[in-house]
Amino acid sequence: MSDWTRVEHFLHTDPADVGCDEAMAVLEVYAELTHSDPQAARVRFPGVAVHLSQCGPCAEDLAGLLRALVADEADEN
């Protein structure tokens, strides 16, 4: 990554980003979709996908939720 790309990355914003509130409102639906088919989640919720790629705390919540789903699946099997 060049220095200019890093500056672009540092200041990057995407108008499609829905923000934390909207992402948090559907996080459980997004997590279940991602768990079974990540591409389907991105297609159904493109603005949420953009947000989760930009927002560390919301991405962290998604990671935790996905881990809980994996653990549930392991418990069921």
Partner 1 sequence: MPSAGVDPATLDPASAGWLGCLDDAAADREPCLARLHELLTRVARREIGRRAHQIAVSGPELDDLAVQSAGDAMLAVLAKLDQFRGESRFTTWAYKFVMFEVSAKVGRHQWQHLPPARADVDWEVLPDRMGLGPEDHAVQSDLVREISRAVEADLTDYQRRVFVSVLLEGVPLEAVAVGLGVSRNTVYKALFDARRKVRAALVAHGQLAEPAGRTA
- State yes or no: residue 74 binds partner 1 (CB under 8 A): no
- State yes or no: residue 43 binds partner 1 (CB under 8 A): no
CA distance 59 to 25: 14
**With respect to partner 1, which residue has the nearer C-beta, 32 or 42?**
32
DSSP per-residue codes, 14-51: -TT--HHHHHHHTHHHHHHHHHH-HHHHHHH-HHHHHH
CA distance 63 to 18: 19
- State yes or no: residue 36 binds partner 1 (CB under 8 A): no
**With respect to partner 1, which residue has the nearer C-beta, 12 or 40?**
12
For partner 1, the binding residues (CB under 8 A) are 1, 3-4, 6-13, 17, 19-21, 24, 26-29, 31-32, 55-58, 60-61, 63-65, 67-69, 71-72
